[in-house]
Chains A and B, each alone.
Chain A
Amino acid sequence: MKKTCIFQDTDNTKKTADLLEVARRMYGNEPFESHAVILEGPSDEIYGAFHHIIRLSAGLVEGFDSRGICDVLENLHQTNTFDSILIPATCLGEMIAPRLAVRLQTGLAAGVTDIGRNGDRIAFIRPACSGKRLQGLEHTGEGPVVMSIRPNAFEYTSGGGVETEMSEYTQPVTSRTAVKRLHSEANKQTYDIRDSEVLISGGNGVKDCFPKLYPLADALNGTVAASRKLVDQGIAPRQIQVGQSGKTVSPRLYMALGIHGSMPHMAGLRQIETIISVNRSSHAPVCSLSDIVVQGDAAEFIDKLMAKMLSADPKKKDR
């Protein structure tokens, strides 16, 4: 039977079990033995999903010590001879997986988002070239395959009900690491519009109701941006100006409210997945590049959209 070892997703411990889906796709629907190695958090989140849960004893290794954690995984592999070792591609995981591959003298498939099958050959699919291409990799070496898995790329929906054996790993690590964590703080909310996946952007058509864009942005988990016209009039600050002389943005969703779409503005938009524009004039150049064009007054649109979204999801009222 195939054996797989899965290291905990330390960013989101509940998601650790999702990596079982990777194993399921690799091994077809053949049963496989799963081992979870966890560092922190309650094990009952994954109880019933794994055959073995190995908890590192408290204080054995620091949460950021990739070399120490590598020792643990290496030892466990010596004992169990896994066929695959799956590590979530968190910041920590990206530092563990390559080291482990070197120690086990095997190949590494990094940032995997999908598993493909070609007869009995398994292909590890991963994005490359800044997400513009998809590579399929095959492991031709000996030894286990070591993989780091992209967050949210897989979902495991089995019912659980596996008989789980719990154990504690107590063997001291031998790697000496000279890293100290000095200090950690919450990442202050970034207001750089370039970091946002959703931008609610206002132009001259919303100059009299610009503050309305903020609740709309909140409702869509986005950030407010503006065209030069509003910055010139002092209605919006320069930091959120989109355009050739402002910032270049690549959100997934760009909502252009009352924006004309002059070239200097459009030059600030790159590779947008979806553009929704709201404009009184259907001749506004921005409409030619939009996926949805709403013909009408932008202020009215915001009111109507907010009302519709609230009626669909009353929880949003509390935002």
Chain B
Amino acid sequence: MKMICVVKFVPDLDSIVHDGENNTMTGNNSRMILNPDDACALAFALQVKAEDPDGSIEVVSMGPPSVRPHMEDLLRRDVDRGTLICDSVFDGSDPSVTSRVLARYIATRPFDCLLTGSHSLDGGTAQVPVQLAELLDLDQMLGISRMDPDRFDRKRAVFQVAEEKSVTTYEMAMPCVLSLTRESGYKLPYPRLTDMRRDVSDELAVITNQALGFSTTEVGQTGSPMKIVTTRPKTYDKKERHIVQNDEAGISFVVDFLKERGFL
């Protein structure tokens, strides 16, 4: 079973918190982590490979040179091939362009299944996995909350998508694109200490635009139909502490507060 995992490295947003006192965001947003949904997809692929002697995994990502060490970290697990699509001409690409670049590379690779995450912590659009499928003329499903390991092979995959009110089981023929969510709970194992010390730098393939052949107007900011023109932090109201007693006035205050905030 040949699997390609498409992944993205994002800032560690979970560690950024809102400081109510100063009404700012604090935390270290310069650290990159593997997007949690994507980590689940890779973890699932690793589980499949562990049971399948013919299983192979290629991890593909499009990103700046700074994600190299993170890709290498993935190579330290049981991943067979790592490919980083990296070229300054791609800088500033919106998700539509990213999808086209990834699709062009992946179209040259043999695979039975493309595994991805659903939403990314930073963009959160779920756009790339869907557009990748469209460009490669494949079926795709977002929001997969559970895979059936016994019905996952070169012919088809059976999986569940959990929504608020219902859980639906689907079957999809291979090849296809399956996009998992972190709710699926697949945990990426950590590399062992001996592997952490291994030098894997020459196991990472770096693909530039030379191999893909896009013109400069097709990619980067120029090639992107949607541009980010503003970005600002979400503002919160400054917090004020109220101290009340367990009496009529206090209880009324609480009830009014709850009504105002939409809890009642």
Contact = CB atoms under 8 A, between A and B. Distances in A.
Interface stretch (A23-31, A75-83, A232-240, A294-302): A294-302
Interface in B208-230: 224-230
B231 interface: yes
A253 B244 contact: no
A270 B13 CA distance: 13
B158 interface: yes
Contacts of A66: 130, 140
Given A132-B16, A180-B170, A305 B127 contact: no
A67 B246 CA distance: 58
Contact of A135 (B14, B141, B230): B230
A13 interface: no
Contacts of B25: 132
A290 B139 contact: no
A91 B13 contact: no
B264 interface: yes
Interface stretch (B107-115, B197-205, B253-261): B253-261
Most buried by A among B96, B164, B261: B96
A297 B246 contact: yes
B93 to A, nearest CB: 12
User: Interface SS of chain B: helix, strand, loop or mixed?
Assistant: mixed
Interface stretch (A34-42, A122-130, A159-167, A205-213): A122-130
B134 A99 contact: yes
Nearest to B236: A273
B124 interface: yes
A106 to B, nearest CB: 6
Given A110-B127, A128-B124, A182-B170, A187 B231 contact: no
A249 B122 CA distance: 21
A63 B140 CA distance: 15
Given A102-B134, A134-B231, A179-B170, A295 B243 contact: yes
Interface residues of A, number: 79
A117 B99 CA distance: 28
Contacts of B124: 111, 127-130
Given A183-B169, A291-B239, A101 B131 contact: yes
B226 A312 contact: no
B143 interface: yes
A32 interface: no
Contacts of B143: 91
B192 interface: no
B121 A130 contact: yes
B159 to A, nearest CB: 10
B58 interface: no
A109 B226 contact: yes
A309 B229 contact: no
Interface of A: 11, 64, 66-67, 70, 91, 94-95, 97-99, 101-103, 106-111, 118, 123, 126-141, 143, 177-187, 198, 220-221, 252-253, 270-271, 273-274, 276, 278, 282, 287, 290-297, 300-301, 304-305, 308-309, 312-313
Interface of B: 11, 13-14, 16-18, 25, 94-96, 99, 121-128, 130-131, 133-135, 139-143, 158, 161-173, 176, 224-234, 239-246, 250-255, 257-258, 261, 263-264
Closest A-B pairs by Cβ, 5 of them: A296-B246, A141-B225, A107-B225, A178-B173, A136-B230
